[in-house]
Chain A
Amino acid sequence: MKHGEDVPDLKSVVPEVGLPFPRVDAAAKVTGVEKFAVDYYGDDLLWAGVKRAGIPHGRIRLVDTTAAAEIPGVLKVLTGSDVPGTNRQGIVHKDQPVLCDRKVRHCGDAVALVLAEDQATLKKALSLIHVDMEPIPGVFGIDDALMPGAPLVHEEHENGNILLKATIQAGEGNASLEGYDIILEETFDVPVQAHAFLETENGVAWQEPDGKVVLVVSTQAPFRDKWEISHALGLPMEKIRVIGPYLGGAFGGKDGATVQCLLALAALHAGGRRVKMWWDREESFLAGYKRHAARLHYHLGANADGTLQSLHCRLYYDTGAYAHLGGEVMALGMEHAGGPYRIPHTRIEGWCLYTNNPVAGAMRGFGVVQVSFAFERMMDLLAEKVGMDPLVLRMKNALRKGDKNCAGVTLTQSTGIVECLEQIGRHPLWLGRERWKGESGIFKKRGVGLAAVFNAMGYGRGLPDSALAKIEVTPEGRILLYSGVSDMGQGNATAFSQIAGQILGQESGNIDLVQPDTERTLPSGSAAASRTTYTYGNALIRACEELRRRIVGRAALMLLVDTLDDLELLPGRVRHPASGREILIATLAATMTEPERICISQFLMPVVKDVPDTGKEFKIGFPHLLFSYAAHLACVEVDELTGGVVAKDYLAVTEAGRVINPQSFEQQVQGAIAQGIGYATCEEVQLRNGRILTPDFATYIIPGAQDIPEMTSLAVDVYETSGPYGMKGVGEVGSNGPLPAIANALRDACGIHMTQSPLTAERVLAALQKK
């Protein structure tokens, strides 16, 4: 379905939850008026830039800045010793220097910071900084990191190169795999993926006369940024203000400090002038965060009738030079390692490893994308082995409400994977698959592949997933919604506007949004973990209901009405239908004091109550209560001569609770599929000894308009009782399906079993030739 014909004109409509509604930010974006962080300049602007290590591992002997500092137009050259605080940043572990002081741990490490009058001078100065380093042998992958006597990326880390080792067990997890009818064993490898958002990491910062440092930055977590800056630079929290405009994409890559601490440091030396830092594409590849490469060893036991019995996994995640969210990414991968299936006995072990590769962190599908490939290939291998239809096998084992998942958590909330699979089974693409496959041309083979996937929502136990919504009726009678969570393109700002419009009965054109600003909006967590609309939306509902009571209550006084039930809140006014009398909201608001006009409400995401006695190594982020589900079907054509793989048709059925905005929902699903197709077929950050061989869009290929097929997105209508209007997050689940669905389709098309991604023409051709 195309949502377009049925989308109302924006300004004059009271938003209604559940109907397609165009984005509140779309008009400003299509006219070029919307200001992203990167669109902020300023008079008398300074430019800041970073000297990168250039080698993957080495001890710093000397950073010689003399020549750079002497160039006219260079204001300042700073090194590690100039960083006033701890000089360490990191979301969970503070292990990443703002400017390296003793050693460098990956090629993109920052060793010096330059402030210059313009970009040409900046570049020249950076090229004149000489970093004298003693190279140290590097650790360039999972095998290297685990090798006895391997060089240590962080000498002070107690477990050597193992950032985190953890185990999840359920049932008789430790039991041997012997004794089942079917035992399957396989190892899968997935590469580093880049977020490749189009607006690269950037920001502008300045210091106010009272010493406060203000940043306008492309960020998913403005409130956490404050904490990072405060810690790293030793600045008091109240001396930092972070403003986070709409982002030009992020997908997890702007969750965590990128330019923040560097820019704040620059601002401290800029004498009140504005400083801009804007990483170019190559620097973004080099220094930006990535999706973890992983190796996934699976050992699956099942009955001859296809009933899953036991799963042992060993999962290895390469987190690169710094922890970032590596341990948490691995934890989520482990929690999803068994797929959306009932497996009574599990033992899932994970190793998150430091290496001298680029830093891996959060990316849409956070650790789950990786394991989805493995468990869904295993399901198809099992279907073959027991001679079952892959859809039937999945339905047979699919989780239902009340079941325990592979982490031993009993599912108490909406669980709609069975309905997703049922819808696939009824769809013409599935029913007509044999005929479609038979119609392939010469030297082409066609296949269809399934994937059943899921994705947790929220931070998980141990890290309160909280939002503080704030809503105001201004003295002029307009509604001002203070969003504490960034909108990186996922459309939460629109959902918030819909919720406020619905409850307050106001037209969208009368609702203004304040984007995150640590001095105007309230801490509401990061734009991450498919949590944004769920958590903030729940808080917002309560705040709006309270504001509604206050407006109507004030109207009752002024209209001399005895009960509030007799009043209607309408666009711009309150009406007493019995008498026909009305009063403008502007008139009411003008009589209200500020504390009356502003409502604030907090919401905390519920957590698992019956916590299984496992995964104790995870201090935060385990386990999760809420999951969204999806079943994907990829129809794929393979060129037997070249190995080229093309997705010709794609169907996704998603259960993410009730849909608040069908258009936004479809945007999330389609976008996730497209990124997933990129991950499946072409995207790979190629590394050689820690150096990136693919630092631009000519070598790191992301899908273009011709590479993505027409997609069909269907929603399973399930009501999540804890969600705002019954919804759950839909941002991530769709990215988990494409790689396994396409890999399964390749098996169906030409009998090849792919264990390494991406499924490039070269790899597929090699597999075809080996057959």
Chain B
Amino acid sequence: MKNPLDQYSVNGGAKPIDIEFMLNGRKTTINVVPNRRVVDVLREDLGLTGAKEGCGTGECGVCTILVDGSARLGCLMLAIQLADRDITTIEGLSQEGNLHPLQEAFIQYGAVQCGFCSPGMILTASSLLKQKPNPTRTAIREGLSGNLCRCTGYQKIVDAVEAAARKMAGREET
């Protein structure tokens, strides 16, 4: 397909290429220009609008996704960086219809208000709990410090992450 924009575009005439990666547990191939932002690939090309965009400059964290299990920012990643990676978006966090303990705890503990930060916040928390299964409240706050929330004041988010950590460690039945 001829791109009428090539003469002007920031892509400088880059040609679409095939990029293969795992997306929410499924092998996926996309054909895009390699310097397309990951957040645009997800939202516009793949319809995964759970990844939000709040600043486009890596300051707010609402575009957070998991790359090989670690939290990364979709607005600062380019499509080519998806190649051969294992990507999880919020849409892929629940398993076989069962909510992830973090998702359950966010609902239960009132950690959701407008909900625009929730996907990124939950994915960052899941990455945090992988590294620190039993974090203190201070450690949770530190771990989430790259994700802004304008509604909650964070306290209920910390409550929820704490509760999910307990549940994931099997220390508490809910």
Contacts and interface: CB of A to CB of B under 8 A. Distances in A.
Interface string B50-63: 11111111011010
B114 A72 contact: no
Using C-beta atoms within 8 Å of the partner chain, give the interface range for chain A.
35 or more
A702 interface: yes
A704 interface: yes
Given A39-B49, A199-B52, A248 B156 contact: no
A705 B141 contact: yes
Nearest to A41: B44
Given A27-B107, A32-B119, A248-B114, A198 B5 contact: no
A259 to B, nearest CB: 16
Contacts of A560: none
A487 to B, nearest CB: 8
B155 interface: yes
Using C-beta atoms within 8 Å of the partner chain, give the interface range for chain B.
35 or more
A706 B103 CA distance: 22
A33 B93 CA distance: 12
Interface in A80-135: 117-118, 120-121, 124
Contact of B107 (A23, A117, A199): A23
B154 A674 contact: yes
Nearest to A116: B5
Nearest to A196: B150
B116 interface: yes
B110 A23 contact: yes
A483 interface: no
A160 interface: no
B159 interface: yes
A114 B79 CA distance: 28
Contacts, number: 203
Most chain-B CB neighbours within 10 Å: which of A3, A32, A34, A663?
A32
A671 B151 contact: yes
A367 interface: no
B55 to A, nearest CB: 4
Contacts of A702: 148, 150
What 8 pairs across the A-B complex have the smallest Cβ distances?
A32-B50, A489-B114, A29-B115, A248-B116, A674-B153, A32-B90, A697-B59, A39-B49
Interface of B: 4-5, 8-11, 43-44, 47-57, 59-60, 62, 89-91, 93-94, 99, 103, 105-110, 112-119, 122, 137, 140-142, 144-160, 163
29 contacts: A4-B105, A22-B108, A26-B107, A27-B99, A30-B106, A31-B90, A32-B51, A32-B89, A72-B4, A73-B4, A120-B9, A124-B5, A198-B60, A198-B116, A248-B115, A249-B116, A281-B55, A281-B56, A664-B110, A666-B156, A672-B153, A674-B153, A674-B154, A696-B59, A697-B60, A698-B59, A705-B140, A705-B157, A708-B154
Interface of A: 2-4, 7, 10, 20, 22-23, 25-27, 29-36, 38-39, 41, 71-73, 117-118, 120-121, 124, 195-200, 246-251, 280-281, 488-491, 663-664, 666-667, 670-675, 696-698, 702, 704-706, 708, 710-711
